[in-house]
A and B are shown apart, each in its own frame.
Chain A
Amino acid sequence: MTTQRKAVALISGGLDSMLAARTILAQGVHVEGINFYTGFCVEGHTQAIRRTDSARPKRNNALWVAEQLGIKLHIIDVVEEYKEVVINPKHGYGANLNPCLDCKGFMVRHAHRWMQENGFDFIITGEVLGQRPMSQRRDTLPVVVRESGAGDRLLRPLCAKLLPPTLPEREGWVKREQLFEYNGRSRKPQIALAKRYDINEYSQPAGGCCFLTDPNYTKKLEDLWRTRGDKRYELDDIMLLKVGRHLRPRPHFKLIVGREEGENNFLEGYRHAFTHLRPLSHKGPLVLLDGTADRDDLRLAARLAGRFSQGRDAASVNISITENSGHTYELDILPLSNDEIPKEWYL
């Protein structure tokens, strides 16, 4: 009796990794999924904190994919280890602060370690040759193989026939002729394969699955590093960059303004760590102040908070200010007009 081989599949929640895992499952291999939480992941309901996105499915796509495939999924928190990838990528950044090649090497390296610790035989990814400009080129796919330590236990089922045979193929654990030769940026072959597998619903995030590829997010992260004077972050920092309007009226402080109820509820969880403002006389958002502020700065922050309240056109708005120390007081202010807010303040 032959031993059933075991593969660990990197599952992002997108279509390609789903197809790669499905392809290997179809060959009778035992597959379990692994998903890495870096803190920069774009999740359906990270977005859905905002009501405007409430039409999106409120779900974690990696879990959903695992359930569709009928496989277990192991979600691993790598927030701390991942900092080095973001702060000091050996292979540099892409168009934004996306360290794609270092990231792929990091994830395959961690999957390889997990494979060894759990008695699995090989690793699967949904990579397609030529699909991504940084991490999925003919010259960079071998970099991931080498630097991850996975060597020829890394199988890319969707483009395997364009690459040298890996250990699972050579040993007959999987049949190479039943793998694929997808190449380039076209999604048509994957969509056709999904149809063949009767997969009718899948996530296709327009901007990828990582906030670091988003220019607006990158701008806020660069601002964080510039104003702190060095490249470092904590999880709360990068979570807050995903939420609210961010305005920096002065170099030594910025404001985070909830855009609607969902964001205000989320920011409520952070208010004890920040000086915060909220309108009392009119409906309006919770505003967190990140940095240091003197009396004039707080008055400016209050006028900005007034601007984003329903009293924006009123002659006076009453604002509650709670400083970091817990000291709370009220100010009556004239909200800033739109013309008084330079575009450069918006991050």
Chain B
Amino acid sequence: MSEHTLDARNLLCPLPVIRTQNMAKTLADGDILKVICTDPGALSDIPAWCRINGHNLLDAQKGDKELIITIRLSKPEERNA
């Protein structure tokens, strides 16, 4: 298990989700992905993306200008392989 950070600042939706989705493809089951965004829509969309794909949303923090969303990736197909 390893931790990764994705800088999705100044990207408008759905780009933060697309970047999260694409980075998740390269990571392993159980990895932690921290996404830093500025688009407030990401607070709705990245959790929705997690629910659709079965990933675990660990935390979503809204700062003054930035959002930090932390996800634990769940890839059961890797566990079962």
Contacts and interface: CB of A to CB of B under 8 A. Distances in A.
A63 B45 CA distance: 7
Interface in A76-98: 76-77
A73 B12 CA distance: 18
Contacts of A265: 38, 65
Interface stretch (A39-47, A115-123, A155-163): A39-47
Contact of B52 (A48, A59, A66): A66
Contacts of B61: none
A55 B21 CA distance: 28
Interface in A253-309: 265-266, 269-270
A45 B52 contact: no
A175 B71 CA distance: 41
Interface string A42-61: 01111011000000011110
A239 B12 contact: yes
Please indicate which of the listed interface residues B10, B45, B49 has the most CB atoms of chain A within 10 Å of its own CB: B45
Please indicate which of the listed interface residues B40, B43, B44, B52 has the most CB atoms of chain A within 10 Å of its own CB: B52
A37 B14 contact: yes
B5 interface: no
Q: Is the interface of B mostly helix, strand, loop or mixed?
A: helix
Bin the interface of chain A by size.
20 to 34
Contacts of A44: 41
Contacts of B9: 269
A269 B10 contact: yes
Contact of B17 (A48, A60, A72, A239): A60
Contacts, number: 75
A60 to B, nearest CB: 5
B39 A77 contact: no
Interface in A308-330: none
B18 A77 contact: yes
B57 interface: no
B37 to A, nearest CB: 11
Nearest to A44: B41
B41 A72 contact: no
Interface in B27-79: 38-41, 43-45, 48-49, 51-53, 65
B36 to A, nearest CB: 13
Contacts of A49: 12, 39
Contacts of B18: 37, 75-77
B13 interface: yes
A72 B45 contact: no
A43 B43 CA distance: 14
A45 B39 contact: yes
A67 to B, nearest CB: 5
B23 interface: no
Nearest to B20: A75
A46 B13 CA distance: 7
B13 A64 contact: no
Contacts of B49: 63, 73
A153 B71 CA distance: 37
Contacts of B10: 266, 269-270
Contacts of A239: 12
Contacts of A66: 52
Given A58-B43, A265-B38, A46 B12 contact: yes
Given A71-B52, A270-B10, 5 more contacts: A37-B14, A43-B13, A73-B49, A77-B22, A269-B38
